[in-house]
A and B are shown apart, each in its own frame.
Chain A
Amino acid sequence: MPTLTINDNEITVEPGTTILQAAQQLGIFIPHYCYHPGLKQVGSCRMCLVEEERSVKLIPSCAYPVTEGMVVRTETEKVVKARKAVMEFFLVNHPLDCPVCDKAGECELQNYAYEYGQQHSRMTVAKVRFPKKDLGKHVLIWPERCILCSRCVRFCQEISGTSELFVLSRGDKSEISVMPGKRVDNRLSGNVIQLCPVGALISKDFLYKSRVWYLKKVTGICPACSRGCNVTYEHRNGIIYRTLARLNPHVNDYWICDDGRYEFRAPEKEKRVHAPLLRRESHLREVLLEDAYTAAKMKIKSILEQHGPEQIGGIGSPCCSNEDNYLLRRFLTMIGSKDVAMLPPVDRNDREEFPGGFVISSEKAPNKQGAAAMLGVPEDPEHFRDMLSRIEQGRYQALFLLRDFLDLPLEDELLAALRKVPFLFSLESVRSELLQAAYCILPCAVFFEKEGTMTNDRGRVQHFNQVLLPSTLDIQSPWSHLAKLMKHFDEKIDFFNPADVFRDIARDIPGYRDIEYGALRKDGFHLEKR
């Protein structure tokens, strides 16, 4: 475990740690471009040069492992001069595109030029020119802006393993390119755009859409599959403009797939259920929320009296949060019903494992494990099949169904079965064929309008935030509707926020004992196998 001194601060580090990483541990920032913690280091941008006592030349701190007794200085005159020099070289051929470049506001060239560069340009000769190129389904490149840090090339070699990008030619004619006919179309392609420290690699999806300083950032969990990759949503005025990968070393490292990045921004407004619907005289009519709850309570009470709790059941969703599913079961338990199952997740059979270790799961439900635990059911789809046959046999007078727009589509078999239930209470977000079958529909929020927790396929409980507000006050999380419904049965029941619900989850659900809601915000919590 070597010990070194950086700017007179001593630190002992793991063998193999580089000087730059040791500095980061001390909270000392060294500017850099080509270094990225998720990729192999190359030391080629020369921005991270620092002074070390035993070396005559400045050394690149990202590429030097710490050896015992190193004395490093990061702010001496020599280092500052070198940074100014390197910064000037970066800007020699870089076009003055800031006013029209998407990266402005989050561009490391801008930031470091401001902090470490010179005030005036001495470049009085023509700059090197390159044409813009379309590199793939999501990726454009402006090669004039490229600083040849090679992060994108390394990503394609090490993480996605697809090697589409390479450096063409040499010297200052070098440019990032693809072979004609072999574009960057792998399922992780969006990551190279996020990796690019300047505005060279640009997202077609985000091009010219918004200035980044207008966007508000909210952390969340991607709902596209059961891996539960960590993301950051950036939004403004009720629209999510961009989804970025967020570091979680236990789940997804620094990456997310293109599905999570570019899809799932929102189902169109027209498709949403905006208001509570209740069937009166065989037509579904919009009602006030209170009336819906009251009607539901009365209907349930009457069924309990006439038929008993065995004839009321519930189906939870692997695409809804832990809180949603937990309160469904809690509600059913409260009214004496034991029959609950879980919709099986959609499986697209497109699982892909990448050489860098990233996996895209074929199960397109973010909370299968969590929902199953909350509902107290096995994950095996057989269990749902049993429930389905009971429904088909007409065993239920009433059924509570949680459904998210990511869930299994309503195929004929399922729809026909649900039609048999006289009183179907559906908590869903998107208008579906259930409009013909349901007795009562409560409008629900989609995943980015909710806050809560989900458990990924490797047993990690993770927290996600609300990004956008639903368009009406009636649209709420399923747990919120269920909590209010339960209150109609028992005045004492109060759940104000997901943390309240989670407190009960941590009390009741085996495996979730004693997990603190607040502690989930950083990296989540890994459930031990019992």
Chain B
Amino acid sequence: MEIKFSPEALEEARRIKEFFTFQQGSLLPVLHLAHREFGTVSDEVIDYLSSLLDIPVSNIKDAVSFYTMFNMEEWGRYVIQVCHTLSCALRGAAEIVDFLEKKLKITVGRTTPDKKFTLIKVECLGSCGTAPVVRINDQYYENLTIERLDSILDKLE
């Protein structure tokens, strides 16, 4: 797969670069864009962005490896992020993880062989009042029970 932005993404990157003229300010917004376009911020993507933004590759990798939302490998189509910090832990996060591991037949941190689901544990998602909370890609699923989660997963293509 050749790493290149679509024309729309390129236009958006250009606008971002124009707006953030200081330091490397354009980097994070463009990384989000790249993540959306390519699904990952691998070393090839970093090389591409380096020439696009005129930022040294090591500076980009430095930032990418710091922020947890940019994954540097290939993840599945649906990334299931289970919050396991205190409030969610108190309301059954561990059971949710157990359930998901059994249902998907993978352990935390792994992707299913058909590359559909990746299962990871994340820190506080900022919705503790509706714990337990799971985020799948960009979508929050709150007030979860095992049953609800089960049917949510079954509905995902």
A and B touch in the complex (CB under 8 A): yes
Q: A interface vs B, CB < 8 Å? A: 163-170, 177-180, 182
Interface window among B26-34, B52-60, B99-107, B142-150: B52-60
Report yes or no: B58 in contact with A178, Cβ–Cβ below 8 A.
yes
B92 to chain A, nearest CB (A): 27
Give the bracket for the number of chain B residues in contact with chain A.
10 to 19
Among residues of B, the one whose C-beta sits closest to the C-beta of A162 is B56
Query: In the complex the two chains form, is B65's CB within 8 Å of A179's CB?
Result: no
Q: Which residue of A lies closest to B62 (CB)?
A: A166
Most A-side CB within 10 Å, residue of B46, B56, B58? B58
Check A167–B43 contact: CB distance below 8 A: no
Contact between B58 and A166 (Cβ–Cβ < 8 Å)? yes
Q: How far is the CB of B27 from chain A (nearest CB, A)?
A: 13
The answer to whether B43 and A166 have CB atoms under 8 Å apart is no
User: Which secondary structure dominates where chain B touches chain A?
Assistant: helix
Are B57 and A179 interface neighbours, CB within 8 A? Answer: yes
Contact of B43 among A163, A165, A170, A179 (CB under 8 A): A179
In whole angstroms, what is the CA distance A389 to B114 when docked? 81
Bound-state CA distance A187–B59 (Å) is 20
B61 & A163 in contact (Cβ 8 Å cutoff): no
Contacts of B57 in A (CB 8 A): 179, 182
Taken together as a complex, chains A and B put the C-alpha atoms of A302 and B41 apart, in Å, by: 82
**B residues lining the A interface (CB < 8 Å):** 43, 46, 56-59, 61-62, 65-66
Q: Count of A-B contacts with CB under 8 A?
A: 29
CB distance from A313 to the nearest CB of B (A): 55
Measured between alpha carbons, how far is A54 from B62 in the docked complex, in Å?
Answer: 37
CB pair A163 B66 closer than 8 Å: no
Minimum CB–CB distance from B67 to chain A (whole Å) comes to: 9
Cα A179 to Cα B46 with chains together (Å):
10
List 9 contacting pairs A-B, 8 Å CB cutoff, sorted by A.
A164-B58, A166-B62, A169-B65, A177-B61, A178-B58, A179-B43, A179-B58, A179-B61, A182-B57
Q: What residues on A are CB-neighbors of B65 within 8 Å?
A: 167-170
Assembly CA distance A165 to B65 (angstroms): 13
Q: Are B66 and A182 in contact (CB under 8 A)?
A: no
User: Beyond A179-B43, A180-B43, is A168–B59 a contact (Cβ under 8 Å)?
Assistant: no
Using CB atoms, name the residue of chain A closest to B63: A166
Question: Can you list the 5 inter-chain pairs with the closest CB atoms, starting with the nearest?
Answer: A166-B62, A166-B58, A163-B56, A168-B65, A169-B65
A170 to B70, CA, bound (A): 13
A163 contacts across to B, CB distance below 8 A: 56, 58-59
- Across-interface contacts of A182 in B (CB, < 8 A): 57-58
Chain B residues, CB < 8 A from A169: 65-66
User: When the two chains form their complex, are residues B61 and A168 in contact, meaning their CB atoms are under 8 A apart?
Assistant: yes
> Are A168 and B43 in touch, CB under 8 angstroms?
no
Contacts of A179 in B (CB 8 A): 43, 46, 57-58, 61
Q: Name which residue of chain B comes closest to A181, CB basis.
A: B43
User: How long is the Cα–Cα vector from A166 to B50 in the complex, in angstroms?
Assistant: 15
Question: In the complex, what residue of chain B is closest to A177 when comparing beta carbons?
Answer: B61
Which residues of B have CB within 8 Å of A168?
Answer: 61-62, 65
A residues in contact with B46, CB < 8 Å: 179
